Chain A
């Protein structure tokens, strides 16, 4: 079974631009979560989607948004990019998500650099 895939793997943008990142979960997984990883803040939860609905949201500004499609694929969008948005953005998928031992499996991430 193929793992979680993310595209693109690398992205360079300038301040003020917007960006869209894509994630394809493991086949059969319906929950998709997004995380931001930076050297200073570590791994932080952005949001989770299940059945095309945002089910949970972390403490990030409204510039960060996402959506999920009927095939469980997900996209996240960051508008008005700031230098501090430079990070590795990770997507993780799980079967349902709320079951006690429903493991999240991560993709390789998208490395975003904001200049």
Chain B
């Protein structure tokens, strides 16, 4: 079956530094990848997505990189702020399907 795993369960960064959160996936048929942010007591919030025909996509302070050769996904957050403290999940899905497979999550803590 599919599996999506995160390399690091926790990550602490200083405010203002850049953060990098990594994710490995195993399903070669996955063609769409999403990063979600979940704060305590809330549902996952969409951050950024990328299709398999791309290797990089940028948003506001966030960049997602996709390396299909090694089945690796990363989320880069520039100038990390205290409000970025949350659990970050990567998720994947196959073309034509709508069920997301989630990674285990990484807890990002920003130190003021």
Contacts and interface: CB of A to CB of B under 8 A. Distances in A.
Interface of A: 4, 31, 33, 35, 42-45, 48, 50, 55-56, 58, 90, 92, 94, 97-98, 100-109
A56 B51 contact: no
A100 B51 CA distance: 8
Interface residues of B, number: 25
Contact of B43 (A45, A50, A101, A108): A108
Contacts of B97: 56, 98
Given A101-B51, A108-B42, A43 B89 contact: yes
B51 A97 contact: no
B102 A43 contact: yes
A98 to B, nearest CB: 5
A42 B105 contact: yes
B98 A98 contact: yes
A102 B95 contact: no
Given A100-B32, A106-B43, A94 B98 contact: yes
B111 to A, nearest CB: 24
Nearest to A103: B46
A42 B51 contact: no
A45 B34 contact: no
A102 B51 CA distance: 11
